[in-house]
Amino acid sequence: MVENQVPATIKNRLQISCYDCHSNNTDYPWYSKIQPAAWYLKDHIQEGKDELNFNEWATFSDRRKNSKLRSIISQIEEDKMPLDFYTLIHRDAILSDEDKRMIIDYMTALKDSLE
């Protein structure tokens, strides 16, 4: 995903909606200093990163990329990501139907190209 061929629109969307929990560059929000939001957020960021870290994408094998792509597609299709508590505060992280379609189409094509 950090690969250069990713279209800027998709990359920007992922950065806004997913990178706080799925990359090394977390932009800690103001409420990260307020307990218990801070504990909650810290756990989720750690857990999110353990599951999927976009900064490590380039090091994944094709097989791993493939399974992560499948997982990303289903998480977005089922409206599971970004997490609800996050979009409650980060309204700009909400994916519109158009964003979802764009990301899913792109991820599907990428997945097919790996098979």
Nearest approach, Cβ of residue 93 and ligand HEC (Å): 6
Q: Which residues in 96-115 contact ligand HEC (CB under 6 A)?
A: none
Nearest approach, Cβ of residue 49 and ligand HEC (Å): 8
Q: Which residues contact 26 (CB under 8 A, 6 or more apart)?
A: 19, 20, 45
Query: Of 51, 62, 79, 112, which one interacts with ligand HEC (CB under 6 A)?
Result: 51
Number of Cα atoms under 13 Å in the Cβ half of residue 62: 6
Residue closer to ligand HEC by CB (options 87, 115) is 87
In Å, what is the CA distance from 113 to each residue of 14, 53, 76, 81? 20, 21, 20, 24
Nearest approach, Cβ of residue 112 and ligand HEC (Å): 18
Query: Of 44, 56, 57, 104, which one interacts with ligand HEC (CB under 6 A)?
Result: 44
Number of Cα atoms under 13 Å in the Cβ half of residue 48: 25
